[in-house]
Amino acid sequence: MTRAIGYAALDPATPLQPFPFERRALRDNDVSLRIRYCGVCHSDLHSCRNDWGNARYPLVPGHEIVGEVTAVGPAVTRHRVGDRVAVGCLVDSCMACPSCEISHEHQCEAGSTGTYNGKDRVTGELTLGGYSDHIVVREEFVLKVPDRLDLARAAPILCAGITTWSPLRRFKVGKGSRIAVVGLGGLGHMGVKLAVGLGADVTVITTSAGKTADALALGASAVLLSTDREAMKAANRRFDFILDTVPVQHDVAPYVRLLRPEGALVMVGAIDALPSFHSGLLLGGNKVLAGSAIGGIAETQELLDFCAAHDIHPDCEMISMQDINHAWERMERADVKYRFVIDMASLEQDRA
Ligand code: NAP
Ligand code: ZN
């Protein structure tokens, strides 16, 4: 076992605080990595606040992890000490079911193991995530960070990136696609960059007029204010595909109306009840309303390689671990440009 230091929520109401704990001794197929940077996902906040009713405490969040390998178990073949590596939202799965066989580990029929708030498959212990100085993970769930990616700006690819990439690929977004991204936050801004990278024409639909210039700079060709009824009406039937990243319960009908016939709206945000929704909105126009959760390991590696090849880096605002509670307050006000990333060197201050 090794001593670790991280930040944990001890209950749904109190701020995150320094939390010393033990990481497991390396199993034969484990990799230990020093965490250099960890992105801050809105799901970290939902989880710690117990918004989804399944939180177990102490909860150390963080599933956008990048760093370097410091030790490997004797059976590890994929990674070596010193390699630049990453861990996303998953640290294990059954590896035998039909989903795992096609590298859809996140859809594991036996249930995949989350990087935090999950249950270790061997000991049953609670998994503790990336707001910490190091982590021990089974080698198959450790990804390679290509040399051309800047480590300090790569972390958000591991969740914000893959969560938007996976539905873009599934619905074959590419050259000639006219799409919209709803909500310009961590996920949304990656959705824009990746869709532009795939050759699509992208509109940002936002509640924040002040984000217009940023949306265009990210590569969007247009911006639509969701509060502008006339502009929304004028955009009726405009898009082949819409990615909805809004983190709170909301009415999707105004967005479904913006789909062309055969178009698809994919929800990746807020896990909540849909307010009353008339099915006629889908039937007329053969429209698809779908959901999507993160992505598998192979697809995440494909994305890291795509980002390296296309020089796509998330827009990161670097913070110290000690700033996390303030960063969360800002995230709740939609004041993020466009992903907070924690510099784990700052944890030294809490090691006393
Ligand atoms: P975020 O950085 O906070 O961004 C969310 C954006 O949504 C905000 O910046 C804002 O953009 C918009 N928004 C906020 N409140 C809104 C409201 N009341 N009405 C309409 N728009 C609003 O969050 P994130 O990290 O991107 O995560 C987004 C959601 O995806 C969260 O619910 C998160 O838990 C979820 N998530 C899902 C998966 C998955 O696997 N499906 C993975 C990761 C995260 P504008 O200012 O442009 O309006
Ligand atoms: Zn996330």
The model's pTM is 0.97
Please tell me the distance between residue 38's alpha carbon and the centre of ligand 2 in angstroms. 11
> Could you list which residues have their CB under 5 Å from ion ligand 2?
41, 43, 159
Model confidence at 56, in pLDDT bands (50, 70, 90)?
Answer: very high
- Nearest CA residue ID for atom 22, ligand 1: 246
Please tell me the distance between residue 74's alpha carbon and the centre of ligand 1 in angstroms. 41
Neighbours of 348 (CB within 10 A): 11
The number of the ligand nearest the C-alpha atom of 340 reads 1
Note whether 223 and 167 are same-domain residues.
Answer: yes
Cβ proximity of 248 and 227 under 8 Å? no
CA distance 343 to 325: 15
Note whether 215 and 331 are same-domain residues.
Answer: no
Q: Write out pLDDT tens, residues 145-199.
A: 999 999 999 999 999 999 999 999 999 999 999 999 999 999 999 999 999 999 9
CA distance 317 to 153: 9
Ramachandran category for residue 95: left, alpha or beta (phi over 0 → left; psi -120 to 50 → alpha): left
SS3 92: strand
Please tell me the distance between residue 201's alpha carbon and the centre of ligand 1 in angstroms. 21
Distance of alpha carbon 349 from the chain centroid:
27
Q: How many domains does the chain have?
A: 2
CA distance 142 to 159: 14
Note whether 122 and 261 are same-domain residues.
Answer: no
Q: What is the rounded (10 degree) CA torsion for 192, 198, 201, 203?
A: -10
Pocket mutation for ligand 1, best pick of 245, 249, 274, 294 (most atoms within 8 Å of C-beta): 245
Note whether 220 and 251 are same-domain residues.
Answer: yes
Does residue 198 sit within a domain? yes
Instruction: Check residue 138 and give its pLDDT.
Output: 98
Note whether 27 and 117 are same-domain residues.
Answer: yes
Instruction: Check residue 277 and give its pLDDT.
Output: 86
Does residue 320 sit within a domain? yes
Whose tokens are 């995949």? That residue is 112
Region 101-111 average pLDDT: 98
Does residue 308 sit within a domain? no
Instruction: Check residue 276 and give its pLDDT.
Output: 84
Q: Crossing angle, helix 297-309 and helix 160-170, to 10 degrees?
A: 100
Instruction: Check residue 270 and give its pLDDT.
Output: 77
Note whether 67 and 119 are same-domain residues.
Answer: yes
**Domain that includes residue 16, residue range:** 2-159+314-350
